[in-house]
Structure 1
Amino acid sequence: LQIQEHYTDTSGYTEQVFAMCHLLGFKFAPRMRDLPDKKLYTFEPTSSEEILSPLLGGKINVKLISESWDEILRLA
């Protein structure tokens, strides 16, 4: 099968699944319940941070990603 897009309901959604789908080259399209309660995470603050501040949950831990990169690729 040539998977181009993966769909799931709310219980199948995690940040890790988003990342794995991206690493494997296909889209992840979850149907997410309670979307307004979800938070976004950024690498660096942006100039529009004030507008987005209610949606932001924090910064991405780049050090943790770097330290775990070999394991992430092994999982993918």
Structure 2
Amino acid sequence: VKAALTSLYDKKTEAQQKQLAKAVESKEHEKAAELKETLAGFKEKYELDTWMERAANKMANEISFGTHISKGIHSS
């Protein structure tokens, strides 16, 4: 699971990682700091604990139980 989350993180932040490399190379410290902050937010989003909690909450909201379920057999 961790490898899959790392892969998702890399895929979602590919552009920002390239921009960060350029900013560091050209010594644009303000731009690099902004990009590092952005990447830190993504990194947190794709950590196992955070991701599992979000996924569990999402699935819990999608599950619903009926209180008066109709008969399980079709009458015809």
The structure whose RCO (Cα within 8 Å, separation 6+) is larger is 2
Normalized per residue, which structure has more strand?
1
TM-score band w.r.t. shorter chain: under 0.3
Normalized per residue, which structure has more helix?
2
Larger Cα-atom Rg: 2
TM-score (norm 2): 0.28
TM-score (norm 1): 0.28
